[in-house]
Amino acid sequence: MSLPASPATPTATITSVVVTPVAFADPPLLNSVGVHEPYALRAIVVVHTDSGHYGLGETYGDEVHVARLQRAGEFLVGTDAFNINRISERVSASLAEDNGAGGHGTGGMVTTTSLDDRVLSAFDVAAMDIQGKVLGVPVSTLLGGQVRDEVEFSGYLFYKWAGHPGFAEDKWGAALDPSGIVEQARKMVDEYGFKALKLKGGVFPPEEEALAIEALRAEFPDMLLRIDPNGVWTVDTAVRIGRRLEPILQYLEDPCLSIEDNAAVRKQINLPLATNMCVVSFNDLPPALSAGAVDVVLSDHHFWGGLNRSRLLAGIAETFKLRLSMHSNSHLGISFAAMIQLASVTKNVDYACDTHWPWKLAEDDVIVPGVFSFEDGKVRVPTKPGLGVELDNEALARMHQQYLDAGLKKRDDTTYMQSIVPEYELKTPRW
Ligand SMILES: O=C([O-])[C@@H](O)[C@@H](O)[C@H](O)[C@@H](O)C(=O)[O-]
Ligand SMILES: [Mg+2]
């Protein structure tokens, strides 16, 4: 008996890449380096192929990063969207003469990520979107298959002003003390059903932030709680606050900046330490593991090289018994779809993932609306081919115009803060 002829190997040759910077309204969220500007920036990457399918990627919108994406896009024309290894090679070739300066996209908070992985990410995601569309399967199937059909997220609490100076107040109001944080948490939990909450710290003296965590515990007795001061505490402060919050926290995120300092903290407290600042590339794993600096890596496909490289991280994490959670910066629906597809196939992403989603206006997006809804803090994984989202071209044009009108060229929370509070100074550690 003869076997049926095998179908032709699928291909989808890249014919062009269009990179469009966009801006969307963002509330005045406070952090260790300043305050979010009135608009957050993103770059939308659309990869066209000769198969008639297009693929979507989303990443940082800093001008330097956008220029790198455009150059990499030119290097990718003629490459097969099914060959991720070749795509990676071509992206690296486009960066061969690059001095690596700038374009980090995180307002100065995370500056040691891999240049190649940061630029590769959006193309890896777009290529997976294309592959899924050509084959008629969701990206989760291409990544090995879902281990969960819903992904759980945590509510991301921020100290914030009531509104940007010169703008109307936003729907969340001010949160500048424990009761403001509890009020914000109540609104977010009522609307999204979150079962875990993370407080962005590093803004006020640590004792005040500890009081906010204790107030959250009093208001939500069963809630899983985390705090993230983005590395601005000294070892002594981190040990003092860590011990105080040991019975309350699920994990403590980046109390200090360096692997060495976090390792020193970890030896003195009985609480898992998580990071998206001292382990941000594959090179950071050996020193962090040997120092015993972290228990949980907050993976982020935007700087770990996309979906395929994030799966590699998950494999390494499994081998070395590191746990995984997921990090987020201000983002739109394409990034959200990619985060959800990835979390749905990664069994050791077993903490509720971070997302800035609630901080975005529903109408501010480049995808056709109606894909995502939250129930009990969880979002169902899209099952349509590819990422499961479609580009809304009119919305893309509108949000690009918003980018031009905003006049911002990179995320810069510090300069914006100094324009409002001139005596504001960057300091690490601050306390
Ligand atoms: O959006 C912010 O202000 C956050 O502080 C963000 O930039 C961080 O990268 C992040 O969410 C974190 O967990 O460190
Ligand atoms: Mg963090």
pLDDT tens, 48-106? 999 999 999 999 999 999 999 999 999 999 999 999 999 999 999 999 999 999 999 99
Task: Check residue 317 and give its pLDDT.
Answer: 98
Mean pLDDT of the chain: 97
Domain 14-140+395-407 has CATH 3.40.50.740: no
- In this prediction, residue 7 has a pLDDT band, given cuts at 50, 70 and 90, of low
Task: Check residue 2 and give its pLDDT.
Answer: 60
Ligand nearest to the CA of 274: 2
Q: Where are the domains of the chain?
A: 14-140+395-407, 144-387
Tell me, in angstroms, the distance from the centre of ligand 1 to residue 113's CA.
Answer: 14
- Domain 144-387: which CATH class? alpha beta
Q: Where are the beta strands (DSSP E) in 285-351?
A: 296-299, 323-326
Contact (Cβ atoms closer than 8 angstroms) between residue 183 and residue 212: no
CA angle, 260 as apex, 257 and 264 as ends, to 5°? Answer: 100
Tell me which of 7 and 97 has the higher pLDDT.
97
DSSP-derived letter for residue 203 is S
DSSP-derived letter for residue 304 is T
Residues 6+ apart with CB under 8 A from 393: none
Ligand nearest to the CA of 34: 1
Quick check: is 302 catalytic?
no
Task: Check residue 30 and give its pLDDT.
Answer: 98
What is the tens place of the pLDDT at every residue in 206-257? 999 999 999 999 999 999 999 999 999 999 999 999 999 999 999 999 999 9
Tell me, in angstroms, the distance from the centre of ligand 2 to residue 14's CA.
Answer: 35
Q: Which of 327, 331, 360, 378 is catalytic?
A: 327
**ipTM value of the model?**
0.95
User: Distance between CA 66 and CA 36 in Å, rounded?
Assistant: 20
If one residue of 31, 110, 335 were mutated to test the ligand 1 pocket, choosing by the most ligand atoms within 8 A of its CB, it would be 31
If one residue of 59, 160, 230, 411 were mutated to test the ligand 1 pocket, choosing by the most ligand atoms within 8 A of its CB, it would be 230
User: Distance between CA 48 and CA 55 in Å, rounded?
Assistant: 7
Tell me, in angstroms, the distance from the centre of ligand 2 to residue 252's CA.
Answer: 10
Tell me, in angstroms, the distance from the centre of ligand 2 to residue 395's CA.
Answer: 30
Tell me, in angstroms, the distance from the centre of ligand 1 to residue 228's CA.
Answer: 9
What ligand 1 atom has the least distance to the C-alpha of 30? 3
What ligand 1 atom has the least distance to the C-alpha of 254? 14
The count of other CB atoms within 10 Å of the CB of residue 223 is 18
Q: Which residue's alpha carbon is nearest to atom 3 within ligand 1?
A: 31
Is 332 exposed, middle or buried (CB count within 10 Å of its CB: 0-12, 13-18, 19+)? buried
User: Distance between CA 16 and CA 232 in Å, rounded?
Assistant: 43
| Adjacent-strand bridge partners of 326 | 299
What ligand 1 atom has the least distance to the C-alpha of 202? 5
Mean pLDDT score, 393-405? 98
User: Distance between CA 417 and CA 29 in Å, rounded?
Assistant: 11
Q: Which residue's alpha carbon is nearest to atom 5 within ligand 1?
A: 31
Share of the chain above pLDDT 70, in %: 98
Share of the chain above pLDDT 90, in %: 97
The count of other CB atoms within 10 Å of the CB of residue 221 is 6
If one residue of 252, 279, 327, 351 were mutated to test the ligand 1 pocket, choosing by the most ligand atoms within 8 A of its CB, it would be 327
- In this prediction, residue 4 has a pLDDT band, given cuts at 50, 70 and 90, of low
Quick check: is 53 catalytic?
no
Task: Check residue 9 and give its pLDDT.
Answer: 85
Ligand 1 surroundings by CB, under 6 angstroms: 29, 31, 106, 109-110, 200, 228, 230, 276, 327-330
Query: Is residue 5 predicted with pLDDT exceeding 70?
Result: no
User: Distance between CA 290 and CA 16 in Å, rounded?
Assistant: 44
Tell me, in angstroms, the distance from the centre of ligand 1 to residue 45's CA.
Answer: 22
Ligand nearest to the CA of 356: 1
Give the amino acid at 12. Answer: A
Task: Check residue 398 and give its pLDDT.
Answer: 98
Query: Is residue 300 predicted with pLDDT exceeding 90?
Result: yes
